[in-house]
Structure formats: structure tokens, C-alpha cells
Structure 1
Amino acid sequence: MDSLFSQFLFLLLSSSLFLLNANANTERELGFTVDLIHRDSPESPFYHPVEEAPFQRVRNAILRSLNRTVHFGSVDLSKTPIQTDILSEQGEYLMKFSLGTPPLPIMAIADTGSDLIWTQCEPCMDCYPQEAPLFDPKNSSTYKNVSCESRQCKTLKRTTCSDDGRCRYSVSYGDRSRSYGNVALDTLTLGSADQRPVPLRNIAFGCGHDNSGTFNKKGSGIVGLGGGSLSLVSQIRDSIRGKFSYCLVPLSSESGRTSKMNFGSNAVVSGSGVVSTPIVKKNPETFYFLTLEAISVGDKKLRFPGSNFGTDEGNIIIDSGTTLTTLPSTFHSEIVSAVAAAVKGERVDSPIRSVLNLCYRASSDVRVPPITVHFKGADVNLKPMNYFVQVSDDVVCFAFAANDRFAIYGNLAQTNFLVGYDAVSQKVSFKNADCAKM
């Protein structure tokens, strides 16, 4: 277990900074790669210089993951809201880009669980404090307000119309944070380490003039990367042919290696060992629904009975912003019992009993069973680092949690896998990888 926990996995898409290395391959299709930097990395604006042990960052990530369920908890599954509720103070990760002409650098929370792109704008009637200059639409020659009759305005669910016909949006979040402003079009530029920026013209976004809540002053807004029509991924879908992927590096205090997110031709997941499962289209369209059929613990295969998302197709969400994999409590208890029966080691009380309750002394000779997640058409063989985490100096815990409302395949289970999304073929692919070497 020493080697396992010397290279710990963390909430890699929890408030991470995107450093973009864009490279357009053709005029019709963009292919570029993004560095993902964990919020606890020295390169992150959230970095605390005070030395923290790896397990302390794991516990912080787990607590942030609990708040993440506020986001899912506010979604009405009987409707198709484009703006989904997220806990904005956590943010999951940050993205560095530029907006307008000339381009103004902006760093905003990026979220695979929401769609609308918005940033704080001048004139600001009521804004939360931010360190960077506010975006001023008067300074951009390519800025255009969107009319109430536009497709973009009609796509949004919470809009009003100004006296002069401009579309105004309103977004509220699970923690009572909010943003209000004008829907507009402008050029969004993805910066490039090799000085080859990728300008994306006429990107719809919200120019927020009234924003409040638990946002961090390092961020200037939110970039939605979900499946809805106004997310960044959807707006550039044709250019990237609906493809993006990421590879999450286990982060330790020693390594500091960055993760990668790829778009377009760079995002194709292929070669030996690739397994793929269908994306199930259902409401809300923001989320990426998959079908979980069973989970095997050693030789014991336990059938998944379903969740509030459904008993059959599309019964679980894959989410890069949630730390833990969460399962309905009855099924979770079956998994925990099977794991407990197979683990060899000294069992101890959990330091965070309300979240993880199957824990062992890390200093003992802990031996864990193999676990396989059986998605429809894709058997994903997890490594011990995907389902056991160190939560204190000498305690490791099983990292699946109970949640009767939402089944979520979290990012700990995705660490050291190349995970590819194809919105055209409607599938998610997994490939075992050493992400630090990619």
C-alpha cells in the first residue's frame, strides 16, 4: 500500500486551472490539448503555501465532493433546464481564456455539470470581488448583444426582455449564488503556449452585471462544458467534431504533474484496451448519462438495481467534478460488504465516518480485491488507487459513498484512465493510461 498511496489521486478537476496549448490541425477541425492543474498545485491560484499532507488534500476534496451534490440535488429531472445548479464556491476547475477584441484575459470556473458561459462585466451594478479587471463590452469591437428573438435567447429557460429588445439571463445556484446580465456574442480565444491562439468567433455567453455568492476572487465567472446547446463544448461541436477527452494524473506533493484535456482530433481514444459505452440522451441534457449494469468485487458480481435516474438505461452520471463514486445506499452496502469480506488488513474507525465507513490501518499489510465496473458494453478494470484513498496519516478508506438521490461515477475512479467523450457517436471511451506520461 505504500507504493499505492505515495502517488495519490485527488479531485483533479476540482478547481483546476486550464493552461491551453492549442494547435489547429485543419480549417474545418480544431485539435488542441489543455493542461489541467489541480487546485492544490503550486501553479493554482488556490494554492496554499502552508505544507499539507496528501491525505489532507484528499479529505478536503471529499468534503467539496459532498457539496457537489447540492448541484445535482437542485435539478428537476422532469424538465430540461439549460442552466443547472452548481455549488459555485467549489468551481471544480478554472479555465484560462481571453474574451473580446482586443482579447482580455479571463480565468473562470469551468464545469462539466453546467452549460452557460458567463463572466462579470462592466458596468457592474453588484459584483463579487475579483482580482482581474472586469470585462467591458465597450472595449470589444466584436461584442454583440443578443435579441430576445434569437435562438440563443430562446434556448435559455430564465430570460427576460429589455425595453430595447435585448435578451437578459438569470442564473441561480444551489448555494444561493446568482448571476444576472445580458446574453451576448463575442470572440473567445483559447490561449496557446506556442503563441498560436485559437479564436472562436460568435460564442454566446452571459455578460453578468449583477453577480453575488460564494465565488472566489481568482475567478471571473463560469464556463459550462456540459451537454446542453450553449455549453462551450456544444458551441464548438462542429469544429471539434463533438470530441473531447481528459487524462487525470494522480497528484502527489512530489510530482506536481499536470493532467491533459484534449479537443477535436487530439481527443480520439483508440488502440489496444479501449472500451466504450453509450451516452444515453435524457433530461437534463447537460449531464452525461451512462448505463451501469454491475460491479464485480473479486469474483463476486453484483447487479446494479438502478437509481433515481432510472433502473435501466442512463442510470448513472459520469462527472469529472465529483470526487467520490456515489451509489444508492442498499447497493452501496452490498459493495461494502463484499469488499470488507475480501480485504486483508486491520480495520479501524473512519476519521470521516459520515462519508466513508470502511477503513483500514495503512501501516498494516492491506491487500484489496480487484474491482471491475461493468458499464453497458464496457468493463472498466479499476486499480486500487481508484477505490481506496488515504484520509489520515495511517488510515485508508474505501472511496465509494452512499447517496440515495444520485448515482455518480466520480473522478477518483477515472484517475489514470484516458476518458473520451464523443457527442457524435454518443459514447464515452475508457483506456488504461499513465496520465503523467501523456
Structure 2
Amino acid sequence: MKEIALFISILFQLSILSSAESNDFSIDLIHIDSPLSPFYNSSLTQSDILINAAFNSISRAESFPLNTDVNSDQTITIPNRGSYLMPFYIGTVPRGSLAIVDTGSDLLWIQCLPCTNCYNQRLPIYDPRKSYTHHLIPCGSDSCRKVSKNSCGIAGECKYVVGYGDKSITRGTVATDIISFNNSHDGHIIEYPNTIFGCGYNNTGVFQPQGAGIFGLGGGPLSFISQHGAKFGKRKFSYCLLPFYYVQGSSKLKFGVDTQTNRRGVVTTAMVSLYPSTFYYLTLEAVSVNGRMLRPDERTVGNIIIDSGTTTTFLKTSWYKKVEAAVVEAIGHQSVALSKLNTFLTVNTFTCFAIFPTQKTSIIGNLLQVFFNIEYDLDKRTVSFAKANCLKE
């Protein structure tokens, strides 16, 4: 614990405070399984980490909604199994914390004291009683109505419940406080007062002790990007992800920055508006293997979700079978040229395909996104991709 405390104190050293208005900023992300992570488990091999990630991805993929019926249950049922941790501060006297960054969630929530039931978090738990900038949101307010599964507390406060596909549940109050970040671009702390978040007092299930909660970057009205996008000029964010075993640098997450300008080979596609608004639905027309175009049997528009919290990639079963057969045929002719970083995994002595079949929603996982700069523009409703050296971003 001393080593973790030392790491966190170094990571969250305060420097000159700066205003959040019209400022873009950059944050270093930490992969949970990276040797640079304060929670790195040296007893796990790379194969162990990949196997665990594959099972977690399957669990997450199976919990995504099957349909886009606007009358269906609004609970976002995805398990708390992310890959990248986001450092931030919270409160009047900034308390350093780490949460799983997730484009498949909206509400930012963290564990709070005094706990009714909290999981074994390895970092100090935020205590709202020690922050005079912490304020409860009243039940019936516009902000409360934007929260899925909201209800009224005894004192008229807004309460929330978020359930996940692995049966984990977080319950608590909806509040506001100062959320701030260490801008890795210039070393200054940048503040976002009155950020709406969930203060979780009752959190049960199989939540990971490495994170204090979930940092939602989804497309819904209460995600951080939706709340504060206008303050840093535009509702835009991007990231460039490194594999978990890289120790030369950090993955980058940037807000309010035009990261695709003057890049070569940028591909831009439209976001598709489907329910729930949390998820970033895109249209994948086909998969090309050796110049052979393999198209889905079902609808094309909005047929895939891009997700930072799922490691492997998933295609609907009928589509996957076509792709798998084409890859097997290409390998038989020794003409396949797919990146080992993105589409194949080395597990022990085996080389495994990093794309899985699913009966639910197709998903672009974070492994396929490694060494790409990916930019989300919520105003233009687009997502852009460009190959990039994430060590130099």
C-alpha cells in the first residue's frame, strides 16, 4: 500500500491552477495491466492477462442491449470490466482518484463515504463531507430526470441506481463537485466545477478494486463530454491507445483538440443515432480480407458499437463465420497480412484470432484501436480514425 500511496502522491502533485474556460487538455491513461500501473500484478504472464481480458470481453459483449427499442429498460447493463484508468481529482481540497474510462457509460460515479456497502477499493475513498463544493441535486430537477433509474430520497435528494450485466450494482446520490485534471500538455491543473456525478454508498458485486468507479464518456446527456464540451471549445475528444505491455510511454486522452488535422489516411464515419444514446453506433459496411469484401447478412446502418471498455472485437455470428472462413483460406495460401497488435493474440504457444462471434451487438474493441488516433466529435456526429504512433502523440 505504501508503494501505491507514493505513486498516487506523485501522480497527483498539484501545480498552478488554471481556469477551465476555453481550454483543451490532455490526460495520460494507465492500462490496468501495464507494468506502469500501481496495481500491476507481476505474477500474471501476458497470456494470463489476454485470457482474462478475452473472458471479460465476452461477458461485456453478452450484456450489451440486443435491440434499440426506445420503450425498453433504460438501465445500461454493461459490466464494470474496463481496461484503461483515468486519473482525476475531486473535491474542494482535491483528492486524487482513478476510475475506469468508458465510452460505453454515461454517468461518472465513484465510491463515497460513509459506505453502506462498498467494495474493497485500494485507493482512499472520497468523503463528500470534507468538500464544501459538494452539493446534492434535488429530486425532480432537470439533471435528476436525465439519470436513468432515478428516484427521490428521504430528504428530497436525487438518487440513482446503475446495474451491470455481471449483476454488480451501484446505488447512491446524484451530486455536483469540482472535477479537475493534471493537464499533461503543460502540467497545470484544470478545473470543472459543478460536475454532475454519482456518489455511490452501496456498491455490490464484482467491481475491480483498482478503480474508484466509472468515468463515463458515452454519448448521453450526463457524460463528462456532454456536460463540459462547450467549456473547452467543442464537444470533441480523442485517444491514442498503447498495448498493455508497453512501458515506453502512456496512452493519451485529449479533450477539445483537433487531432486529425494534417494527418494522412484519415477515415471519417458518421455516428448513428440509436437507443440508448450512451453508445457510439457506427456503420461497418464490410470487412475486406485479401481484397474480398465480406458484408453482413443483416442491416448495415448503425450495426456496430465502438467501445473503449471491451478488449476484443465482436461480429454478429453469421458475419463472423464469413470473415473467419476467409482468414483461414488466406492463411492456407500464406498471404494474410494482419497486424499482431490488433487482430491476432499470442497466448502461450498459440496464435489466436482477436475477433469473436456474438449473438448480440457487434463491437469494435480497444485492441483493434491500438496505435490509432480515434477522434469523437459529438457536434458533427462523427468518429475519425487514423494510424498513429501513440508514443509520440
Within 5 Å, which residues of 2 pair with 1:225-264? Answer: 225-240=217-232, 241-252=234-245, 255-264=247-256
- The equivalent residue for 2:373 is 418
2:62–2:358 contact (8 Å) kept in structure 1: no
Q: Supply the RMSD in Å over aligned alpha carbons.
A: 2.7
Residue type matched to 2:302 in 1? Answer: G
CA gap 1:24/1:65 in 2 versus in 1, 3 angstroms? farther
- The equivalent residue for 1:8 is none
How far apart, in 2, do the equivalents of 1:154 and 1:40 lie? Answer: 37
2:341 is paired with a residue of what secondary structure?
A: helix
How far apart, in 1, do the equivalents of 2:166 and 2:359 lie? Answer: 21
TM-score by length of 2: 0.88
2:118–2:202 contact (8 Å) kept in structure 1: yes
CA apart distance, 1:244: 0.7
Q: Quick check: 1:107 aligned with 2:62?
A: no
- The equivalent residue for 1:325 is 313
Q: Spell out, residue by residue over 1:138-189, the C-alpha distance to the aligned partner (whole angstroms, 9 max, x if none).
A: 2111111111121110111312212332111122221221121111111111
1:157 to 130, 148, 156: 148
2:345 to 358, 374, 389: 389
Residue type matched to 1:258 in 2? Answer: S
How far apart, in 2, do the equivalents of 1:135 and 1:344 lie? Answer: 56
- Give the number of equivalent residue pairs: 381
CA gap 1:242/1:391 in 2 versus in 1, 3 angstroms? same
- The equivalent residue for 1:10 is none
2:69–2:275 contact (8 Å) kept in structure 1: yes
1:316 to 277, 295, 304: 304
- The equivalent residue for 2:29 is 36
2:158–2:173 contact (8 Å) kept in structure 1: yes
How far apart, in 1, do the equivalents of 2:332 and 2:257 lie? Answer: 45
How far apart, in 1, do the equivalents of 2:20 and 2:70 lie? Answer: 40
How far apart, in 1, do the equivalents of 2:16 and 2:344 lie? Answer: 37
CA apart distance, 1:291: 0.6
Q: Spell out, residue by residue over 1:1-46, the C-alpha distance to the aligned partner (whole angstroms, 9 max, x if none).
A: xxxxxxxxxxxxxxxxx98999999964221112222222122133
Q: Spell out, residue by residue over 1:69-123, the C-alpha distance to the aligned partner (whole angstroms, 9 max, x if none).
A: 24315887444766512212x2333222111102122222222111111122222
CA apart distance, 1:413: 1.9
How far apart, in 1, do the equivalents of 2:105 and 2:242 lie? Answer: 23
TM-score by length of 1: 0.80
CA apart distance, 1:283: 0.4
2:263 is paired with a residue of what secondary structure?
A: coil
CA apart distance, 1:286: 0.4
How far apart, in 1, do the equivalents of 2:371 and 2:13 lie? Answer: 20
- The equivalent residue for 1:200 is 192
Residue type matched to 2:190 in 1? Answer: V
How far apart, in 2, do the equivalents of 1:331 and 1:20 lie? Answer: 49
How far apart, in 2, do the equivalents of 1:55 and 1:201 lie? Answer: 42
Within 5 Å, which residues of 2 pair with 1:181-220? Answer: 181-192=172-183, 195-220=187-212
How far apart, in 2, do the equivalents of 1:413 and 1:103 lie? Answer: 35
Q: What 5-or-longer segments of structure 2 have no aligned partner?
A: 1-10
Q: Quick check: 1:92 aligned with 2:83?
A: yes
CA apart distance, 1:221: 1.9
CA apart distance, 1:269: 5.0
CA apart distance, 1:270: 4.3
How far apart, in 2, do the equivalents of 1:172 and 1:75 lie? Answer: 18
- The equivalent residue for 1:369 is 336
